A and B are shown apart, each in its own frame.
Chain A
């Protein structure tokens, strides 16, 4: 007796992710899943973007970490509503964790919900969380070979943000190579080069995100 299933193994997660997405859309909340290595500058990028927008954006953040409250405290310090998920060793967030965390967030008035995923270029790739947009951060000190070494996460992202580009003069990072590798894997993805420290490239990224949000939720733009 053979049962032909032909279904995604993470189907249960995908279903839950679709429910999350529908719930966020229903509340006019644009959800972004930010992935990248530990130390790629994800939290710093969020701080810089929120400062860039000021009062023009009402963000909330779900912080995913294996342990600790460090990132959540940074968000609290700048007055952004935040929920910390500690995965207790698990290397990625999944859709059920997001559903639970969203219960603990007041989303009324929030326009953008950021999910800062656990720092990991491998395990986060396969898990849809219910986001509208997935952004992968790659800091230039990590090296320009990371895109072809960890293709899955780059292939499935809507944008690549090269961070810490103020360090480029001190590194052998080839921006053109990184761009070309990303274009081979994700031809539709946008590529940004930013430095949270100098502010370079931030306005372009901030503008694009607002446009994407407006395109996803035209009634409130």
Chain B
């Protein structure tokens, strides 16, 4: 089950993205894209997230997971049909001369953060001071 490693990578990436955006608010929700043929199981992602997110920046965040389909292209009838799972014949004309593409996405699409006025006062003022010092006094800036 490699979903644990994927959730671990996801949590690191969320922390990095939030940091890069200069934000400190709590993560309210995450939007992921997991293609139907990605080989990644969405239930296992949710389970891994429940297990690994406590104590991380994404603790308690809701997961929105889109599962885009793959596409079946038929060489005979020319149809390009969305498929939720793998097929061995064209769903339109039944011919076997098909090529299956896509459905392999594994993306962190977006991160929804708590609005600043909702965030705890202590953490937001602390965050501002750090932000200021970081940009002005960092000797390795540039």
Point out residues on A near B: beta carbons under 8 Å.
1-13, 90-92, 94, 122-123, 125-127, 148, 150-153, 155-156, 180-181, 183-185, 187
Contacts and interface: CB of A to CB of B under 8 A. Distances in A.
Contacts of A187: 99
A166 B128 CA distance: 69
Given A9-B9, A92-B2, A126-B6, A155 B96 contact: no
SS class, residues of chain B in contact with chain A:
mixed
Given A2-B113, A5-B109, A184-B98, A10 B39 contact: no
B21 A92 contact: no
Given A1-B116, A3-B18, A151-B37, A9 B2 contact: no
Interface of B: 1-2, 5-6, 9-10, 12-13, 17-18, 21, 23, 25, 32, 37-40, 86, 88, 96, 98-100, 104, 106-116
Contact of B5 (A6, A92, A181): A92
Contacts of B38: 126, 152
Given A3-B23, A3-B111, A152 B39 contact: yes
Given A1-B25, A1-B114, A184-B98, 8 more contacts: A2-B110, A7-B13, A8-B106, A9-B6, A125-B39, A126-B6, A151-B86, A152-B39
A156 B104 CA distance: 9
Nearest to A6: B109
A118 to B, nearest CB: 10
Give the most central of A13, A125, A153, A156: most B CB within 10 Å. Answer: A125
Given A150-B39, A155-B37, A184-B99, A5 B2 contact: no
B64 to A, nearest CB: 12
Contacts of B39: 122-123, 125-126, 150-153
A181 B104 CA distance: 17
A10 B86 contact: no
A157 B96 CA distance: 21
A107 B21 CA distance: 41
B65 to A, nearest CB: 11
Give the most central of B2, B38, B40, B108: most A CB within 10 Å. Answer: B2
Contacts of B113: 1-3
Given A126-B40, A187-B99, A148 B112 contact: no
Given A13-B9, A184-B99, A185-B100, A7 B2 contact: no
